[in-house]
Amino acid sequence: MDLETVKQRAGPREFSPKDDMPEEYRKAATRMIQFHANSEIMGAYLERPFIRQAPSLERKLAFSAKTQDEIGHGQLLYRAAESLGIKTRDEMLDELANGEGKFLNCFHYPMESWVETPMIAFFVDGAAMRRQATLKSTSWEPYAHAMDKVCFEEGFHVKHGEAILHELMTGSKKEQEMTQEAFNTWWPRIIQFFGPTDKQSTHHGFASEVGLKQKSNDELRRAFLNTYIPKAEKYGLEIPDTPRIEKNDDGTYNVHEEDLDWDEFFQIAKNEYEPGRGQIDARKAGQEAVAWVRESMDNHEQRLYGSTTQQAAD
């Protein structure tokens, strides 16, 4: 199939592994889905320590389930990316461990306190839902099918994060102050979740033309602000002065995007931000620590497959 035909046919769940897709499409889709899969893995890695730090058994169980979900989402997405025939799952995981794989800006920053958990579990996951809901109509069918499951489970994650935010903001004055401080720190990062502005984006145009993306970065950012600024204020959080937010006459919001630190954002995008490098190195160490398990399983499968083949030959 040539590229012009792809653009003409592009629509929700239009293409699948049975279609002979042009290389430009397969590479663009692989890049997009791999980035998403990497972000799921690194998000789980960021939140994993809070299974132990959770203040109650109920929260420990919820955080454990959330982390398992995110790892599962990553594996599901690697398989969707693998179906494009450009890279294998193992190659993508190796790229992530070696610092070559890109992932979401928010997961480059460390989390140190329990009061930071709703910044990811409510606000970042809420932002993710804005994007992922549109990806249920992406043109690569395996990706869209993966989104059906991912969106279902992410909805629970957002409710989990909202419950934590409610507890903190109805808790002691100290808890409320600490949560506000965390929100002040994370707010610009959360707004940058959707990526660079449309003017700065290098991938949106093509991804939109071939049906991989349904909404631009700026459209998604505005939709998030319109929904989550009222929610933040509902729980008593004050919107920081920077970046400046304007409320329009119709009740919608705009952000002064020039107030955001885009230099740092693009440094992060290249995996050059120091805390992010720490996250990557820790992920690599974790992958290497369990290499023997993967090797043992591969050897067992090889022995089993070999014996089955011999039996069939006999």
Q: What is the mean pLDDT of residues 126-142?
A: 96
Cα(138)–Cα(12) distance, rounded to whole angstroms?
Answer: 5
Work out the burial of residue 297: count CB atoms within 10 Å of its CB; fewer than 13 is exposed, 13-18 middle, 19 or more buried.
exposed
- State pLDDT tens for residues 144-196: 999 999 999 999 999 999 999 999 999 999 999 999 999 999 999 999 999 99
CA 44/CA 314 separation, integer angstroms: 47
Bond preceding residue 12 cis, omega within 30 of 0: no
Mean pLDDT of the chain: 92
pLDDT tens figures, 57-80 = 999 999 999 999 999 999 999 999
Domains and CATH numbers, the chain: 3-241 (1.20.1260.10)
List beta partners, residue 254.
Answer: 246
Q: CB under 8 Å to 208, separation ≥6 — which residues?
A: 214, 216
What average pLDDT does this structure show over 248-269?
93
CA proximity to 24, closest of 39, 10, 38: 10
Q: What is the DSSP letter of 260?
A: S
Paired tokens of 86 = 């450009």
**Which percentage of the chain shows pLDDT scores above 70?**
97
- Please tell me the distance from the alpha carbon of residue 275 to that of residue 107, in angstroms, as a whole number: 10
